[in-house]
Amino acid sequence: MEDVGSTILVVDFGAQYAQLIARRVREAHVYSEIVSRETPVADLLARRPAGIIFSGGPKSVHVEGAPSIDPSIYGAGVPILGICYGAQLVAQQLGGQVARTDQGEYGRTTLDLTGRPSALFQELPATQDVWMSHGDSITAAPPGFTVTAQTAAVPVAALEDSARQIYGVQFHPEVAHTARGQEILKHFLYDVCGCRPTWTRVSIIEHAVEAIRAQVGASRLLCGLSGGVDSSVAAALVHKAVGDQLTCVYVDTGLMRAGESEQVEDTFRRQFGVDLVHAKAADRFLEALDGVDDPERKRKAIGETFIRVFEEVATDYEDAGFLVQGTLYPDVIESGTKDAAKIKSHHNVGGLPEDMQFELVEPLRNLFKDEVRAVGEELGLPEEIVWRQPFPGPGLAVRIVGTVTPERLEILRQADAIVVEEIKKAGLHRELWQAFAVLIAVRTVGVMGDERTYAYPIVIRAVTSDDAMTADWARLPYELLDRLSSRIINEVPGVNRVAFDITAKPPGTIEWE
């Protein structure tokens, strides 16, 4: 989806906020992508970026093996903005000084503009709050640079060389705690790089439709339709592009939530007239998962079985050489890139078999979840689909910590239905990124009716997030937690204990496996 008006490349130096930088650029309606710092400069320039942003990073520029970049990038004529570590790298490579000071800056800090003309700070107040997170500091700007901002502790908090269009800020404009951060980014995007705000839901759809048609021609496509947000939007996009060349296949894995199969049938076949094949394969998935308790093996077993079912369905469609998937940008990042260690293999990324017979069509692969929802609304999908909470492709299998059995699936399915129902009753469904139940395949001792019980615990997981790259545990009201605990223990046979997960991401993940 490049060249949608303009493209900004975000060079990742291992930053906690690299994904957030890319999101903020897109929120300014400019297309952005994250790229590895190891990408050769020639390859970066071949993509004809309107500008390049260097992310922050956890390292010091002084340590052995510190992340770096080929200095020839500075003479390429492409505007550059360095953020935190990125600014320090710019200063060091171009002849400035970066020192290990005794006084770092962490958290909210007052920034004072020096009064020198600045492309980044034009029409902004002389004093503003910014968010700092650094130990090293730029103590002297390189030749040709002007210092445009400082703080009480740091003499060079922002610098720029307008002739070469190279800029650096020691703070983080991408985080919400920097009050005027988005305005600073927009000045770089619009005034320095000359970008146009053309990355909109309409342009995303137009370019996706064009790319899909170019990729598949007159061939038939199969779409793995789960009824979730991602696969539904992917199906709608592809259907807009190729119409009746698309056949949607709902694979009933037996790992779905309560009533989900019936809902998919009703919504897509009966209400929207989609050509839908319902492949009932629960027994096959349970067989593939028999005795498997390692989460990576679960995902790979599910991914391979999923594809094999598709291949069998495809025998009825001799010209079906393409498979549509709702893969998102966070899926790709979490499944492992040069600068993002593999956290878990998503069944639709790292879990696919190497000998797969289909060519993938992934129209959402470069989108974050909020962009997917916006596209879904633009395509006219109903609210109950667009705003469904995310559900993992491997389904309830990765919400059972341990081996998967029919008994455990049914217990978890009933408990999860109670969680969903109560969250909706409390009016929190749209406020939460996800809320669901987890079953841990161990048993705990309890007392019910004056008798000893030995049953499963259920863990309730509820989080808030913008894009699933980071998340915080949701502060659910005690009264709601009390209702959830009471209902699950009283209504779900085989459960005698309920816990609430208060772990953020990081260090945890949203899903337990």
How many angstroms separate the CA atoms of 374 and 361, rounded?
20
- Marked catalytic residue, from 134, 172, 239, 346: 172
Copy the structure tokens of residue 141: 């700007």
- Is 84 an active-site residue? yes
Pick from 476, 404, 387: nearest CA to 438: 404
Contacts of 440-446 spanning 24+ positions with Cβ under 8 A: 440/401, 440/402, 441/293, 441/400, 441/401, 441/402, 441/403, 441/408, 442/402, 444/496, 444/497, 445/496, 446/496, 446/497
How many angstroms separate the CA atoms of 308 and 290, rounded?
17
How many angstroms separate the CA atoms of 483 and 472, rounded?
22
Burial of 377 (0-12, 13-18, 19+ CB in 10 A): middle
Compute the Cα dihedral for 172, 175, 176, 180 and give only its sign: positive
- Is 172 an active-site residue? yes
- What 3-state class would DSSP assign to 213? helix
Which residues have C-beta within 8 Å of that of residue 512, sequence separation ≥ 6? 398, 399, 401, 438, 459, 461
Bridge partners, residue 247, by sequence: 222
Compute the Cα dihedral for 477, 435, 373, 16 and give only its sign: positive
Q: What are phi and psi of 389, to 5 degrees?
A: -70, 150
Torsion angle of the four alpha carbons 269, 274, 280, 281, in this order, in degrees rounded to the nearest 10 = -150
Pick from 471, 463, 468, 377: nearest CA to 428: 463
- Marked catalytic residue, from 29, 105, 134, 174: 174
- Is 223 an active-site residue? no
Copy the structure tokens of residue 111: 């920034």
Copy the structure tokens of residue 158: 């922002």
Copy the structure tokens of residue 173: 């404009």
- Marked catalytic residue, from 29, 84, 193, 195: 84
**Catalytic residue numbers, as ranges:** 84, 172, 174
